[in-house]
């Protein structure tokens, strides 16, 4: 921590401005060797939070001017790293940035490791580990929801919750220790019952936090989504409408999308990892068949299937095949080409779907049990183990009910329980309805507020799970009538697990691993 580091903090691609960040006790001395200010002054004497205009020059090459720049001066401890920091704003060319960084390195700084600036902020006590991890999440956020949850975490939302839990546990630990040390003045009669009562809300708080993790994962990583539909249904057009780029090739020739394209796209605030598959049909062409096989495989493993139907053409056997793919899966039916006149009656599609989905004699029991099971795994992943939420049961019953009625397209826009959205991939209409359908399928609803603390990090989830386990052990010891020092051991374990989240009980290796995942210059 006592050397001076430097790195390019902006991206190393051609851009308007490039930033070279220098941090450490020698930051201003390094700057002085390479910066020639317009107004003669000593850069090591600059006041904090000031900006200076000048040039970067190479002292070893007859003061050759490398670039014109602005230099920002931030003084310890009120900086991101808590150390003296100089940031050189130069022109954003990869070559010029590398030259300036090279000069800083030749003149007293060493190259920063990935994440080292943030690591210094953590080691300097400016942020805790959960906030440091949030810095990374803000940088890698790919949707509004992901950004919202990581900014919230960056402002200390997770830390505040964890601190509150730790403080409550520490109070109990202190009380037990004091009473054991001084039995004459402190009596523990009746305390175990009281402790059990107090632990319940803490455990509840932890479980609530843990229950956000399933949604948190989806927010952070995106919903693995597969678009299926017969050739020319508009799969590539839909992907392009969602990405806003012409990544997929849109053509009138059937079977042009032969390989798999994956795109991280945001539909409104939700991040989707969309896989554009080869058109599903009975292909004779071998290459195309490989593509279709893969499409089927992806559909089997996806979190969500977007089943695209071309309303401008009559329903056919290929559409039937698509319906088979969505059987028992989380799916949304998209009626594409809403801008054109429809070539089939929606009731015919409903009929086809009903026919296909009720093929097996096990219907609807098998489907409903599976939907229920899937609801659990898809909605939360790990939450399943924690609590069998009543509302999920509700979901599945609702779905079951609508399956039983065998209703056709109803007012709530679903066919036998599968949401239906009308879109025009070409005209880009209906995307908001699609977003709403996905939201109600995957999120419990309160994430929109952006105020709920969400656990997005598997490390935090694991620590919470262990802390919760330790509290259960305390409760067990109380019920078994074990002596108070038994409680202390497990309470201490719970405290330690929680402390790992904020980075107080972690070993150096873990800290290094976490920061090594950061990008260069951060
Ligand atoms: P894919 O084979 O399923 O990927 O289909 P494409 O995205 O390549 O689209 C096939 C054809 O349908 C292209 O000519 C598109 O322009 C057209 N298309 C796609 N979506 C729409 C839509 O919403 N409305 C209309 N009118 N045409 C569309």
pLDDT of residue 140: 79
When the pLDDT of each residue in the chain is averaged and rounded to a whole number, the result is: 81
Q: Do 261 and 243 contact (CB within 8 A), yes or no?
A: no
Exposure pattern of 37-54 as b/e (b: 16+ CB <10 Å)?
Answer: beeeeebeebeeeeebeb
Say if ligand 1 is within 6 A of residue 422 CB: no
CA–centroid distance, residue 439 to ligand 1 (Å): 25
430: CA distance to ligand 1 center in Å?
15
Ligand 1 pocket check for 339: Cβ under 6 Å: yes
Q: Best substitution site from 229, 235, 238, 250 to test ligand 1's pocket, by max atoms within 8 Å of Cβ? A: 250
Nearest in space to 165 (alpha carbons), one of 205, 105, 129, 218: 205
d(CA 374, CA 380): 10
> What predicted TM-score, i.e. pTM, was given to this entire model?
0.65
Cα 213 to Cα 508: distance, rounded to the nearest angstrom: 26
Which run of H or E residues covers position 229?
A: strand 223-229
Q: Degrees (nearest 5) of the Cα angle 388, 389, 394?
A: 120
Q: Which atom of ligand 1 is nearest to the CA of 229?
A: 3
pLDDT (mean) for 206-221: 85
| CA-CA-CA-CA torsion sign (374, 375, 379, 382) | negative
Mutate which of 240, 283, 343, 426 for ligand 1 pocket (most atoms within 8 A of beta carbon): 426
Whole-Å CA distances, 111 to 120, 315, 491, 494, 501? 14, 62, 43, 39, 29
Higher pLDDT, 357 or 257: 357
Q: From the CB of 251, is ligand 1 less than 6 Å away?
A: yes
CA nearest 497: which of 474, 520, 516?
474
At 8, which helix (H) or strand (E)? strand 5-8
**Radius of gyration from C-alpha coordinates of the chain:** 29
Ligand 1 within 6 A of CB of 237 = yes
Does residue 77 have a cis bond before it (omega within 30 degrees)? yes
* Ligand 1 atom 10: residue of nearest CA: 232
Q: Please indicate whether residue 337, judged by its CB atom, sits closer than 6 Å to ligand 1.
A: yes
For ligand 1, say whether the CB of 334 is within 6 Å of any of its atoms.
Answer: no
Longest C-alpha distance within the chain, in Å?
A: 90
C-beta separation of 106 from 33 below 8 A = no
pLDDT of residue 182: 83
How many A from CA of 268 to the centre of ligand 1? 22
Q: Residues 231, 225: contact at Cβ < 8 Å?
A: no
Closest residue (by CA) to atom 22 of ligand 1? 337
Question: Does 424 contact ligand 1 (Cβ within 6 A)?
Answer: yes
Determine whether the shortest distance from the Cβ of 234 to ligand 1 is under 6 A: yes
Spacing, Cα 237 to ligand 1 middle (Å): 6
**Which ligand 1 atom sits nearest the alpha carbon of residue 237?**
7
Pocket test for ligand 1, best of 237, 245, 430 (most atoms within 8 A of CB): 237
Inter-residue contact 115 to 517 (CB < 8 Å): yes
Give the tokens for residue 95. Answer: 């070559």
Query: How far is the C-alpha of 183 from the C-alpha of 318, rounded, in Å?
Result: 80
pLDDT per position as a tens digit, 467-521 = 999 999 999 999 999 988 889 999 999 999 999 999 987 778 878 888 887 777 7
Angle value at C-alpha 228, between 226 and 230, nearest 5 degrees: 165
- Residue nearest (by alpha carbon) to ligand 1 atom 24: 337
pLDDT tens digits, 386-397: 233 333 333 333
3-class SS at 19?
strand
| CB 409 near ligand 1, within 6 Å | no
Ligand 1 pocket member 430 (CB < 6 A) = no
Three-state SS for 355?
helix
Q: How far is CA 288 from CA 263, 326, 480, in A?
A: 20, 21, 65
More confident residue, 394 or 414: 414
> Looking at residues 203-221, what average pLDDT do you find?
86
Q: Show the tokens assigned to 234.
A: 């508009």
In the structure encoding, which two tokens stand for residue 368, read together? 């409903």
- Measure the CA–CA gap between 29 and 43, rounded to whole angstroms: 8
Reported as a single tens digit per residue, the pLDDT across 157-190 is 899 999 999 999 999 999 898 888 888 887 788 8
């Amino acid at each position: 921590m006592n050397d001076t580091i430097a790195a390019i903090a902006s991206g190393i691609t051609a851009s308007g401005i490039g930033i070279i960040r220098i941090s450490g006790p020698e930051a201003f001395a390094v700057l002085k060797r390479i910066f020639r200010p317009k107004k003669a002054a000593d850069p090591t004497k600059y006041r904090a939070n000031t900006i200076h205009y000048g040039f970067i020059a190479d002292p070893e090459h007859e003061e050759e001017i490398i670039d014109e720049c602005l230099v920002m001066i931030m003084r310890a401890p009120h900086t991101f790293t808590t150390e003296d920091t100089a940031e050189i704003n130069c022109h954003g060319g990869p070559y010029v940035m590398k030259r300036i960084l090279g000069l800083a390195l030749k003149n007293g700084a060493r190259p920063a490791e990935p994440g080292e600036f943030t690591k210094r902020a953590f080691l300097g006590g400016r942020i805790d580990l959960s906030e440091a991890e949030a810095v990374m999440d803000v940088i890698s956020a790919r949707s509004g929801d992901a950004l919202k949850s990581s900014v919230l975490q960056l402002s200390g939302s997770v830390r505040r919750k964890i601190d509150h839990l730790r403080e409550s546990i520490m109070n109990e630990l202190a009380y037990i220790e004091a009473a054991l040390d001084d039995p004459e003045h402190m009596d523990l009669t009746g305390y175990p019952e009281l402790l059990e009562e107090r632990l319940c809300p803490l455990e509840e708080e932890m479980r609530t936090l843990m229950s956000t993790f399933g949604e948190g994962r989806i927010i952070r990583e995106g919903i693995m989504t597969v678009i299926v539909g017969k050739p020319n249904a508009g799969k590539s057009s839909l992907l392009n409408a969602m990405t806003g780029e012409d990544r997929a090739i849109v053509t009138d020739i059937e079977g042009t999308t032969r390989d798999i394209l994956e795109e991280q796209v945001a539909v409104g605030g939700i991040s989707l990892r969309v896989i554009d598959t080869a058109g599903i049909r009975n292909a004779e062409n071998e290459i195309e068949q490989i593509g279709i096989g893969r499409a089927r495989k992806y559909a089997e493993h996806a979190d969500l299937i977007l089943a695209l139907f071309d309303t401008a053409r009559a329903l056919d056997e290929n559409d039937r095949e698509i319906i088979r793919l969505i059987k028992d899966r989380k799916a949304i039916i998209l009626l594409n080409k809403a801008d054109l006149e429809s070539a089939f009656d929606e009731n015919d599609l409903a009929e086809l779907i009903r026919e296909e989905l009720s093929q097996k004699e096990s219907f609807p029991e098998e489907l409903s049990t599976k939907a229920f099971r899937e609801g659990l795994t898809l909605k939360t992943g790990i939450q399943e183990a924690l609590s069998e939420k009543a509302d999920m049961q509700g979901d599945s019953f609702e779905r079951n009910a609508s399956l039983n009625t065998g209703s056709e397209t109803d007012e709530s826009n679903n066919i036998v329980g599968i949401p239906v959205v009308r879109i025009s991939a070409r005209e880009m209409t209906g995307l908001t309805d699609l977003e709403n359908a996905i939201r109600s399928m995957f999120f419990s609803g309160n994430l929109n507020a952006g105020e709920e603390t969400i656990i997005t990090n598997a490390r935090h989830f694991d620590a919470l799970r262990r802390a919760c386990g330790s509290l259960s052990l305390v409760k067990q010891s109380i019920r078994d009538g074990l002596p108070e020092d038994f409680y202390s051991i497990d309470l201490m374990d719970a405290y330690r697990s929680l402390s790992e989240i904020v980075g107080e009980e972690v070993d150096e290796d873990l800290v290094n691993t976490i920061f090594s995942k950061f990008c260069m210059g951060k």
